[in-house]
Amino acid sequence: MSRLARNPINIPEDIKISLNNNTINFEGKLGKSMTTLPDGILIDMKDNLLHFTGENKALLGTVYANVKNEIIGNTKGFEKRLELIGTGYKANVSGKILVLSLGYSHDINFKIPEGITIKVEKNIVSVTGTSKQLVGQVAAEIKSFRKPEPYKGKGVRYEGEKVYRKEGKKK
């Protein structure tokens, strides 16, 4: 059994949780979400505490972490910030499309998924949402359009990320 799953999760007052068969519905100030439980996992709710039990002990820690992330996402939300480093690299949002100019001969049009908001300030792209998995996935997709290269460090990187730099050719 996971060490984490032995401890109950405290439910904040601004979150409403409803348990149906093998689904959990969360409703908070930032939105609604739903998580399905795998077979063999049981959740009991008593006195604003969620207790985890089940036969499938390998998944207890994973389910615990997913439920905790849903609660945090519906109260505070998650954010990833990306830096665009390079001459002429820019981004802007038009409707539900993020337009990236990353030095290619064409602009990249990235469709923003449901539940994600993207803000652009100068060369910083901020990806926010209630799902930790979805925020990380969208940020990784944006980064994959132009990963930081090791010689000049140009590209899209997470804010505060260190890029391993190489020395160029010597004459």
- Given this model, what pLDDT does residue 1 score? 58
pLDDT for residue 106: 95
What pLDDT, on the 0 to 100 scale, is given for residue 53?
87
Domains of the chain: 9-76 (3.90.930.12), 78-158 (3.90.930.12)
- In angstroms, rounded to a whole number, what is the distance separating the alpha carbons of residues 165 and 83? 17
Q: Which residues of the chain have pLDDT under 70?
A: 1
In 88-169, where does DSSP find H-type helix?
132-144
Q: Is the pTM of this model over 0.85?
A: yes
User: What's the pLDDT at 125?
Assistant: 96
The reported pLDDT for the residue numbered 40 is 86
pLDDT at 138: 96
Tokens standing for residue 87: 């001459």
Show the tokens assigned to 55. Answer: 């036969």
pLDDT at 21: 83
Q: What is the DSSP letter of 125?
A: E
Pairing of strands 90-94, 97-101: antiparallel
| pLDDT at site 114 | 92
pLDDT of residue 81: 97
At residue 3, what are phi and psi to the nearest 5 degrees? Answer: -65, -35
